Amino acid sequence: MRKSQFVQLIIMTSLIVSGCATQTKSTALGGVIGAGTGAALGGIVDPGKNGEYRTRNVIIGSAVGGIAGAFAGSTIFESSEKKKKEAYENGEKNAKAELSKQGHMPDLKNPKVEARWIEGKVAGNRYIDGHFEYIIVEPAHWDVE
């Protein structure tokens, strides 16, 4: 496999898996990219006389790059999750502070719903099985005291 084909393979792999949302996927993606990069660099680094060290260099580069990439992917994911959590907590804190400035927001009361059993029946050439129908008796409303 030529170097340009290898680079294209790495780019395609990273594009396919780039929609990461979990730590496992982020770690795996980091490992794949790191292994590919390490293998490519291992193939370039001092191949020795007649390329006798090239295979060894590719294997070592791939292993070291994979480990480093997996660690980097995991670290980046954890950092991203920490930032998301901090942003959520800040937003929640700011919302509570804003509510206290404006006064108390009234509670929203749930609607009152009745469940009625409808017996099974035959309608023409159809049989309609017995079932519940749910009817909103009183809609949701603000509880203003």
Domain assignment of residue 74, given as a range: 3-102
Based on the fold, state whether residues 11 and 48 are members of the same structural domain: yes
- The verdict on pTM exceeding 0.85 is no
Give the chain's domain count: 2
Phi, psi of 79 (to 5 degrees): -65, -45
Question: Where is pLDDT greater, at 26 or 132?
Answer: 132
Q: How many CA atoms are closer than 13 Å to the CA of 136, on its beta-carbon side? A: 6
What HEC string does the chain produce? CCHHHHHHHHHHHHHHCCCCCCHHHHHHHHHHHHHHHHHHHHHHCCCCHHHCCHHHHHHHHHHHHHHHHHHHHHHHHHHHHHHHHHHHHHHHHHHHHHHHHHCCCCEEECCEEEEEEECCEEECCEEECCEEEEEEEECCEEECC
Quick one: 21 and 74 in the same domain?
yes
CA 140 to chain centre: 34
pLDDT in tens, 14-64: 655 555 567 788 888 888 888 888 888 888 887 778 878 888 888 888 889
Same domain (yes/no): 91, 113: no
| Same domain? 96 vs 132 | no
Q: Which of 8-12, 77-81, 96-100 has the lowest mean pLDDT?
A: 8-12
Per the DSSP assignment, residues forming a β-bridge with 135 are 114
42 and 68 fall within a common domain: yes
